[in-house]
Amino acid sequence: MSLIDVKSFAAGQWVTPDNNAREIFNAVTGDKIARAGNAALDVEAMLDYGRSKGGPALRAMTFHDRARMIKALALEIGKHKQALYDISFATGATQSDHMIDIDGGIGTMFVFASKGRRELPDSHVYLDGNVEQLSRNGTFLGQHVATSMQGVAVHINAFNFPVWGMLEKLAPTLLAGVPAIVKPATATSYVTELAVKIMLDSGLLPEGALQLVSGGLGDMLDRLTHQDVVSFTGSAHTALQLRSAPHILKNSIRFVAEQDSLNASILGPDAAPGTPEFDLFIKEVQREMTTKAGQKCTAIRRILVPEHQSSAVIEALSQRLAKTVIGNPQVEGVRMGALVSQSQKNDVLKCASLIGTEAERVYGDPDNFVVKGADADTGAFVPPMLFHCENPDQATIVHETEAFGPVSTVMGYRDIDHAVALANRGEGSLVASVITHDPEVARSVVLGAGAFHGRLYFNNRDSMKESTGHGSPLPHMVHGGPGRAGGGEEMGGIRGVMHYMQRTAIQGSPDILSAVGRKWVPGSTETSAPAHPFTRSFHELQIGETIHTKPRQITVEDIEHFAHFTGDTFYAHMDAEAAKRNPFFPDRVAHGYLLLSFAAGLFVEPNEGPVLANTGLDNLRFMKPVEVGDSIKVRLSVKHKTPRNDEYGEIRWHVTLTNQDDELVAEYELLTMNAYERQS
């Protein structure tokens, strides 16, 4: 079979490997299958291409344009899933592993595409937090904003998830408007190359938005500027080497690190054998040990159980592990494939021996296990190996050595505080899980262990049917962890996008802030509407367009009618003496909801028109009570516009109610869905 030439895509050209390219082997057969790398890759030209072509093109698109592009890319990869599955078997992965990598990667793209449309504006500037009042009269305000970094994002990925590992970084990067240079781990780079080719061939990406380095990066990292970002996934050793390079430190180049992790799973004190939680725990641990042959950054390495349950856990887990058929992932019935390479196998066996100096191997013998449909020696196979550490307090290796394969250690704990202390011995991890039906156990773990773990996953009989699994990083939630895990955070919804944007504090007048954020800020110049705003379509309405209504006086009959009609006869509306005894009210006062209803009556235009529906109120505040005889009037301004689908978009209106003395009575944001076009 001829070797696959894993190409790079550099400055618009596919570049084939040169004679010094690194060799890549089939994990299952040990055959040489591919080569990658070209020492003559012009990394300066790649950086320039990304910065001068990809960046400006992406920044010209709005967040919504980029979100639509990400969705289209996900659909395109989805169309070619089978080809990606087929090529991935050579990495040692099973079909279920492919689903995590390929379908999981596509799913992550969809979530970012959807979040981009729902949580980011159809514009170029992200508003971070609320307007800050910096002056007494409101003529000088503050607002944090985020804008796209003007360099490139260099993504350095680990070998274990060649598709998901790329897409979970690419989606937030593209959404931020930043071009990416992806450098997959060489061992599985042929899978990433295919996924990149699918995206580039689709024609959906602007020129320069995505480049690929197969093989070594050369001196690219020494050529970065403070506008570039490095997003690294891999071992703590490599991360330290790269992030401590003088050029990176000197130029304060952002370096997001996702490193290795000694993740723990805790069997709650309440989860005795016979409970649904005990069975769930055994299932989750077995799955985490064997999925991807344990080559998951989130895999459970330390199994913490009540001391008196150690034997029961070891027995139940061993029985389940015994059912795991190991072998060629393309052979029927195989549940666990090979490690990625012989060198990983050697590494895992070395780490397992080291762990064996502090713990007894109670399941799995690397010298004696069955491999189905492949040669155990030429393929990179190891069996699941379970250890038992009798004295975890005295041990260090079991808390510090990551065997990046199907290797875990059972340790007994005395009480939940002890379990927390042991979980924290990992010195910072990506995830810790707790299987408990006791909410107070969960709270103790959050208080004791939260600061040591990027994610805490709780599961029990109530959530187990819908839960996603200890080891699944989700695009909505932060993935990363403190200390040994690298100190980075990826994904986490829009938080992940912010790695590729710069936060800037903007200070200025309301008009300046309104123009910067494309969002009306109270105190800005109002424009009077040429017609009632409810008669104007989404596209016709302008930010800052305002109407002022006539006043309406509040009578005692209004209050009583509303009270009896709705059943809200709260004393402050009905009984003057009782109201006066209340520190908030001078006398009988109008219901807040009556005021809101009257406000709607004052500003609504009743005829059929572009306003399709009122979808809610945000940030409602009642500032001053309204008494009998007071009058209220309304100011309604267009604050913000967000397209929602092909027919209509959301208008966020800023609404204030003031009394006869122009004092603020109530303030809120009204949301309506408005048709893009006016119906004729």
Instruction: List interacting residues with ligand NAP (CB under 6 A).
Output: 156-160, 183, 185-187, 217, 233-235, 238, 242, 258-261, 297, 402, 404, 430
**Smallest gap, in angstroms, from Cβ of residue 186 to ligand NAP?**
4
Q: Is the CB of residue 237 less than 8 Å from the CB of residue 405? A: no
**Nearer Cβ to ligand NAP, position 58 or 187?**
187
DSSP 627: B
Nearer to ligand NAP, 267 or 380 (CB): 380
**Catalytic site residue from 297, 490, 545, 627:** 297
Structure tokens at 170: 């690419």
Distances (CA, A) of 149 to 117, 207, 482, 498: 20, 18, 25, 10
Cα 200 to the center of its chain, rounded Å: 24
| Orientation of helix 63-79 relative to helix 104-119, angle to 10° | 160
In three-state form (DSSP H/G/I as H, E/B as E, the rest C), the secondary structure along 291-330 is HHHHCCCCCCCEEEEEHHHHHHHHHHHHHHHHCCCEECCC
Report the nearest approach of ligand NAP to the CB of residue 293 (Å): 13
Angle between helices 556-566 and 592-603 (to 10 degrees): 110
Closer residue to ligand NAP, CB minimum distance, 143 or 157: 157
- Residues 154, 417: Cα–Cα separation, whole Å: 41
- Output DSSP code: residue 502: E
Of 156 and 195, nearer to ligand NAP (C-beta) is 156
Closest CA to 50 of 172, 173, 233, 231: 173
Tokens standing for 269? Answer: 């004190």
| Between 336 and 651, CB nearer to ligand NAP | 336
Least distance from C-beta 257 to ligand NAP, angstroms? 8
Residue of 193, 258, 288, 402 marked catalytic: 258
132 vs 222 by CB, closer to ligand NAP: 222
Catalytic residue at 297? yes
Residue 310's Cβ-count burial label (10 Å; 0-12, 13-18, 19+) is: buried
In Å, how far from its chain's centre is CA 405?
25
Residue nearest to ligand NAP (CB): 234
CA neighbor of 423 nearest in space, from 503, 482, 344: 482
Tell me the closest approach of the beta carbon of residue 432 to ligand NAP, in angstroms. Answer: 14
Give the whole-angstrom CA distance, residue 496 versus residue 479.
9
Interaxial angle between packed helices 63-79 and 81-88, expressed in degrees from 0 to 180 and rounded to the nearest 10: 60
User: 52 has which bridge partners?
Assistant: none
Do residues 507 and 134 touch, judged by C-beta distance below 8 A? yes
* Of 551, 564, 515, the residue nearest 633 (C-alpha): 551
CB of 191 to ligand NAP, least distance (A): 13
Q: Which is nearer to ligand NAP, 404 or 603 (CB)?
A: 404
Two tokens, residue 143: 């607002």
Gap between the Cα atoms of 258 and 170, Å rounded = 15
Shortest Å, Cβ 323 to ligand NAP: 26
Closest CB 404 distance from ligand NAP, rounded Å? 5
DSSP of 15-40: E---TTPEEEE-TTT--EEEEE--TT
- The per-residue DSSP string of 375-411 comes to -TTTTT----EEEEES-TTT--HHHH---SSSEEEEE
Given the complex with ligand NAP, which of 101 and 630 has the nearer CB atom? 101
* 229-233: strand order across its sheet: 13-15, 8-10, 210-212, 180-183, 153-156, 229-233, 254-258
Count helices and strands (H / E) in the chain: 22, 29
Q: Which is nearer to ligand NAP, 116 or 234 (CB)?
A: 234
Residue type, 238: T
Do strands 264-267 and 429-435 pair parallel, antiparallel, or not at all (unpaired)?
parallel
Q: Which residue, 87 or 156, is less far from ligand NAP as judged by CB?
A: 156
**Closest distance of CB 374 from ligand NAP, Å:** 22
Least separation in angstroms between CB 347 and ligand NAP: 8
Nearest approach, Cβ of residue 479 and ligand NAP (Å): 6
Q: Which is nearer to ligand NAP, 187 or 334 (CB)?
A: 187
User: Measured from the CB of residue 291, what is the shortest distance to ligand NAP in angstroms?
Assistant: 13
Distance in angstroms (rounded) separating the CA atoms of residues 489 and 487: 7
Catalytic residues, which ones? 258, 297
